[in-house]
A and B are shown apart, each in its own frame.
Chain A
Amino acid sequence: MDSIIVAFSTWLNKTSLAWAVIHYAWVWPAAETLHFIGLAMLIGVIGLMDLRLLGVAKRVPFAPLHRLLPWAIAGFVICLLTGVVFFAGDPFQYIHNWVFQAKMLFIVLAGANVFAFYVTGVFHKVEELAPGEDAPLPAKIIAGVSLVFWIAVMYLGRMLPFLGEAF
């Protein structure tokens, strides 16, 4: 696994994307700005859906709230693409860095949680949740776990320069 990651990083670091990140001073700050805008879109939509399932603002019907999901996906894609920009610019400060590894792990875990929400039938049960109706326990657990995982992703990302000595 490690040799694959090293080989991928070496290749990525030689692409014109990496060249642009290194040679144009504006690329990094621009990517960071977009990373924060994407973060707000992702956490805003997902966070409010999680809070609704947990019982805050129970009078919000779930299905129409869920219709805003494409905005969360767009936010995630923005963060993913700008994340690749950071990674391409200097992959070797990340790959053996435990904070970066932990952040990636929590993104995968959050993804697995989303997967669990849709394939175990929990989404099907909450889809028709009417105003005032309480979500079943499995949905509440998934919503709570989602909040914890995404906050962990933000925390670890913000700690990269401090606990992880990367930027």
Chain B
Amino acid sequence: MEFLAWVEQSGFSVWLRESPSVWAYPTILFLHTLGLALLVGASMVIDLRVLGFSASLPLEPFKRFLPVLWLGFWLNAISGVLLVLIDATRLLSNPLFYFKLGFIGLAVVCGQLIAKRVFPRWPAAYDWEDQTSCRVLAGASLFFWIAAITAGRLTAYLFTAGDLAASVR
């Protein structure tokens, strides 16, 4: 806790939090939203295709979209770290924040497993379209991204385990 308070009180965190400039806190929040749109948006499109929507759409050439997806990921990893620096004690003591991180982790693992099947190093090694496991992964990926967005948004409203319990009562 002391370390968190120290992080929060460091010069950089104070500037990010207290600067009236739109280039500080507001811009970091915007970049976090933009990254979400790129990462979750592109992931959702791949998931929908794997689930069977627009079945004539070949996924293999989507390889070229992956840098956009990763741009979104790193944009959010970096802006996310900055948002934690600004508000360390409140975020890191909020159970929802750990749910959010957990859901992101699970969504990324699903994404990697889907990528391994859909973008094989040696094409035609096997056909992912026949695999139920690939569809299950795509469904799970959609679920985990939606859960991550939900948990992330709610960190701004519910702060403790008590708040969480009260909200579902």
Question: Using a CB–CB distance below 8 Å, which chain A residues touch chain B?
Answer: 26, 29, 32-33, 36-37, 39-45, 47-48, 51, 56-61, 64-65, 67-68, 71, 131, 151, 154-155, 157-159, 161-163
Contacts and interface: CB of A to CB of B under 8 A. Distances in A.
Interface residues of B, number: 39
B57 A64 contact: yes
B37 A131 contact: no
B57 A60 contact: yes
Contact of B54 (A33, A51, A65): A65
Given A40-B40, A56-B68, A48 B45 contact: yes
B22 interface: yes
Contact of B61 (A29, A42, A60): A60
Contact of B149 (A33, A59, A65): A33
Contacts of B64: 56-60
Contacts of A58: 61, 64
Contacts, number: 119
A48 B149 contact: no
Given A29-B154, A71-B44, 19 more contacts: A29-B157, A33-B154, A40-B41, A40-B145, A42-B41, A43-B41, A44-B43, A44-B44, A47-B38, A51-B65, A57-B62, A57-B64, A59-B64, A61-B57, A64-B57, A67-B54, A151-B34, A154-B34, A159-B26
B68 A44 contact: no
Contacts of A67: 53-54, 56-57
Given A40-B149, A71-B48, A131-B61, A158 B37 contact: no
B149 A159 contact: no
Contacts of A59: 58, 60-61, 64
B157 A162 contact: no
